[in-house]
Chains A and B, each alone.
Chain A
Amino acid sequence: GQNIDQPTEMTATEGAIVQINCTYQTSGFNGLFWYQQHAGEAPTFLSYNVLDGLEEKGRFSSFLSRSKGYSYLLLKELQMKDSASYLCAVRPMNSGGYQKVTFGTGTKLQVIP
């Protein structure tokens, strides 16, 4: 199975940079997702990492280290609208059939003026 750990809550200042960490233990690994979920809304896809390294997409970047079972989501130039929960999710490797994605409990980020 998979075990995913991420901080419950974080607070950061508008205009600053914040890093949200995610660690995972899994019997097999095929990729890691980050989703954003505003309060009362549906999760929306942010990024997907398969290989080690940093992937940048505008103000958001996601990093993966497969050997360490570790990922982070980096948000730059924080805006008030970035206040949301950020969900880390792991896609396992399997030998066939559907690969069930497991979601972490999410990190609630509050951006303050």
Chain B
Amino acid sequence: NAGVTQTPKFRVLKTGQSMTLLCAQDMNHEYMYWYRQDPGMGLRLIHYSVGEGTTAKGEVPDGYNVSRLKKQNFLLGLESAAPSQTSVYFCASSLQGVNAKNIQYFGAGTRLSVL
């Protein structure tokens, strides 16, 4: 069982460069999320999606864009990377439904450094 797979695992960018982080899940989950985790800040929600073709802003969306063209994939884009975007990025997915516990399953993370 692959669960949630993120690529790449590590990346170093120069300021102003762009990149896309890929997230794939094989659990047929409706909901998918992108978080960033910084020391002392905890997990902060960047964007999320409640289904194929839909996305919404989270707590810290500025400087990021997302797309959910297929149910199993959720892409996070950085258009013009800044040093403030140096972080560990986690993708997660969960089942939908008001009565669902909404337990989130996380990928292994992408460690991004912007110089």
Please give the residue numbers on chain A whose beta carbons come within 8 Å of chain B beta carbons, in ascending order.
Answer: 31, 33, 41-45, 48, 87, 89, 91, 97-101, 103-106
Contacts and interface: CB of A to CB of B under 8 A. Distances in A.
B106 interface: yes
B103 A105 contact: no
A43 B106 contact: yes
Interface of chain B: mostly helix, strand, loop or mixed: strand
Contacts, number: 44
B31 A98 contact: yes
Contacts of A43: 43, 90, 104, 106
Nearest to B107: A42
Contact of A101 (B90, B102, B106, B109): B102
Interface of chain A: mostly helix, strand, loop or mixed: loop
Contacts of A106: 42
B85 to A, nearest CB: 19
Given A87-B42, A104-B42, A42 B48 contact: no
